């Protein structure tokens, strides 16, 4: 888990190191600072999610819902509660949106299969949220 710079507007929380690395590269190419963490580390208590939020104060979190979908969706509900109170925005990713929706109902999530064009969609969504955040803070 390393930050791209002192300002960390985007956190990448995923269970796949390759996806984390690719997203970090895409964000860096766009000048977006990022920090990363692993879903399993938060779920199993090896890393404290609240401390992570307090330390890095991300504006946006790109959070992956991986198999087992139902279990990971339940954990995500706790993540959502913690981030809503801080005004942090969430972008969901998953490797199989159809199965995830079958288990939990329709959800706004990006399906990532590891192809760069899929990742660019996530970067575009992050940039959009960051622009909204900046518009709200300008005087």
Checking if the pLDDT of 24 tops 60, the result is yes
Q: What pLDDT was estimated at residue 6?
A: 47
Helix, strand or coil, per DSSP, at residue 58: coil
Domains of the chain: residue spans and CATH: 10-132 (3.40.50.2300)
Q: What is the DSSP string of 94-108?
A: ES-HHHHHHHH----
Instruction: pLDDT band for 46, please (50, 70, 90 cuts).
Output: very high
Q: How does pLDDT run across 75-113, given as a tens digit for each residue?
A: 998 888 888 878 889 998 888 888 888 888 887 777 776
C-alpha closest to that of 61 among 90, 92, 30, 99: 90
Checking if the pLDDT of 134 tops 60, the result is yes
What residues have CB less than 8 Å from 60, skipping those under 6 apart? 9, 10, 11, 88, 89, 90, 91, 126, 129, 130, 133
Angle at 106 between CA 102 and CA 111, to 5 degrees: 80
Q: What pLDDT was estimated at residue 109?
A: 73
């Amino acid at each position: 888990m390393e930050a791209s710079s002192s300002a960390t507007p985007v956190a990448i929380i995923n269970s796949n190191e390759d996806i984390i690395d690719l997203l970090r590269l895409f964000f860096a190419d766009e000048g977006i600072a990022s920090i990363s963490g692993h879903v399993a580390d938060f779920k199993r208590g090896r890393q404290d999610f609240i401390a992570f939020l307090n330390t890095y104060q991300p504006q946006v979190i790109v959070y992956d819902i991986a198999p087992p979908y139902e279990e990971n969706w339940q954990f995500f509900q706790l993540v959502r509660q913690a981030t809503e109170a801080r005004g942090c925005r969430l972008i969901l990713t998953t490797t199989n949106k159809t199965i995830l929706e079958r288990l939990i109902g329709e959800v706004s999530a990006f399906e990532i299969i590891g192809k760069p064009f899929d990742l660019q969609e996530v970067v575009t969504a992050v940039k959009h949220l960051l622009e909204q955040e900046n518009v709200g803070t300008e005087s």
